[in-house]
């Protein structure tokens, strides 16, 4: 019973009512369960532990759970989370029951949140190398993959001691590849561009703007770009990003050229990062309403979505910004 309640809480905390939309997908069942944009944190002789992050994707028709992970690179591998402890101190602890991944949805593994903990490394993880990892899901079974090892210098202000469980900020953008090494072929049924769990932020009367979020997943063999979006709910719709400006002040700016979604990879639209900006709303957006969006991709073409309006999950990971 305890595990059942934990699973329910994880679903509610990470994703609420996940929705899956696809363009250019072939007929048939697509049941991919995997880790996308995965990466491992580089370590040194003085760092006995590391962690793996990324996006757990579930395109099957039933909820699944990552129950364990293993690698020859560490003596032990555990599924962990970072939570607020006594005295407002961040603490790291194992997650009983595993990481739930909703059907047609995703679960994000990130610094300061859920992650796969590598304990007592058998040797340091060098940036630029590859970590081989086996993930075991309750339904999908074992999935073997390889992820790139990223340098800790790419992590602004990261605490050097993972064992203390300190919260860590999100990784800065780099030009290094993020997709898993030797990515598998997904099959014709999965040949398409998917939008997982799209949602729009509520806007009360008098609030001029809002934003849309979700996960763009490209399972085709060609790179794609979200080049524009439109909606009758706003006078203008633009693709935006949040960046660090002068004086270490976060600011929002349009994205020239669109949002890239390379073949076999995913692009996460989220508060405080990439998003679709709805400017000069034509009406109030209340929690529980829906918004019709038209996304235009360079290769996949037009994709029509009916997106729910809901408040952002209270995760403490940048939920307050656009």
Task: Tell me the per-residue pLDDT of 211-232, one tens digit each, with 9 for 90 and over.
Answer: 999 999 999 999 999 999 999 9
Backbone angles phi and psi of 78, in degrees to 5: -130, 155
Question: Distance between CA 76 and CA 65 in Å, rounded?
Answer: 19
Question: Distance between CA 24 and CA 106 in Å, rounded?
Answer: 20
Instruction: Tell the CATH topology of 189-308.
Output: Immunoglobulin-like (2.60.40)
161-165, 200-204, 211-215, 251-255: segment of lowest average pLDDT: 161-165
Question: Distance between CA 178 and CA 130 in Å, rounded?
Answer: 11
User: Are the CB atoms for 63 and 11 separated by under 8 Å?
Assistant: yes
Dump pLDDT digits (tens) for 65-123: 999 999 999 999 999 999 887 777 889 999 999 999 999 899 999 999 999 999 999 99
Is the predicted pLDDT of residue 308 greater than 80, yes or no?
yes
Task: For residue 131, list its beta bridge partners.
Answer: 147
Contacts of 303 (CB under 8 A, 6+ apart): 21, 22, 23, 193, 195, 294, 295, 296, 297
How high is the pLDDT of residue 11? 37
How high is the pLDDT of residue 257? 94
Q: What architecture does CATH give domain 33-183?
A: Sandwich (2.60)
pTM passes above 0.75: yes
Is the predicted pLDDT of residue 163 greater than 80, yes or no?
no
Distance of CA 16 to the CA centre of its chain: 14
Question: Distance between CA 316 and CA 32 in Å, rounded?
Answer: 29
Q: How confident is the model over 251-262, as a mean pLDDT?
A: 94
Positive or negative, the CA dihedral 199, 205, 277, 303 is positive
Span(s) in the chain for CATH 2.60.40.1890: 33-183, 189-308
């Amino acid at each position: 019973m305890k595990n059942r309640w934990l699973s329910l809480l994880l679903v509610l905390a990470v994703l609420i009512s996940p929705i899956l939309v696809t363009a250019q997908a072939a007929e048939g069942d697509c049941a991919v369960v995997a880790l996308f944009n995965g990466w491992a944190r580089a370590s040194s002789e003085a760092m006995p532990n590391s962690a793996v992050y990324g996006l757990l994707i579930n395109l099957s028709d039933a909820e699944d759970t990552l129950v364990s992970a293993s690698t020859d690179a560490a003596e032990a591998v555990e599924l962990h989370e970072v939570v607020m402890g006594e005295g407002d101190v961040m603490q790291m602890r194992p997650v009983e029951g595993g990481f739930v991944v909703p059907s047609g949805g995703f679960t994000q593994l990130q610094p300061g949140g859920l992650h796969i903990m590598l304990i007592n490394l058998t040797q340091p993880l060098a940036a630029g190398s590859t970590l081989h990892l086996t993930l075991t899901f309750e339904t999908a079974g074992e999935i073997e993959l390889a992820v790139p090892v990223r340098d800790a210098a790419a992590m602004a202000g990261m605490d050097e001691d993972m064992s203390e469980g300190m919260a860590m900020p999100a990784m800065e953008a780099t030009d290094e590849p993020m997709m898993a090494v030797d990515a598998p072929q997904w099959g014709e049924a999965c040949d398409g561009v998917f939008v997982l769990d799209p949602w729009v932020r509520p806007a009360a009367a008098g609030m001029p703007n809002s934003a849309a979020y979700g996960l763009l997943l490209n399972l085709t063999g060609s790179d794609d770009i979200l080049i524009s979006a439109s909606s009758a709910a706003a006078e203008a719709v633009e693709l935006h990003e949040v960046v660090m400006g002068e004086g270490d002040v976060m600011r929002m700016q349009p994205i020239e050229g669109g949002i890239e979604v390379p073949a076999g990879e995913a692009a996460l639209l989220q508060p405080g990062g990439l998003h679709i900006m709805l400017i000069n709303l034509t009406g109030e957006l209340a929690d529980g309403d829906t918004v019709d969006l038209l996304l235009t991709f360079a290769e996949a073409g037009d994709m029509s979505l009916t997106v729910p309006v809901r408040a952002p999950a209270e995760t403490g990971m940048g939920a307050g910004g656009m």
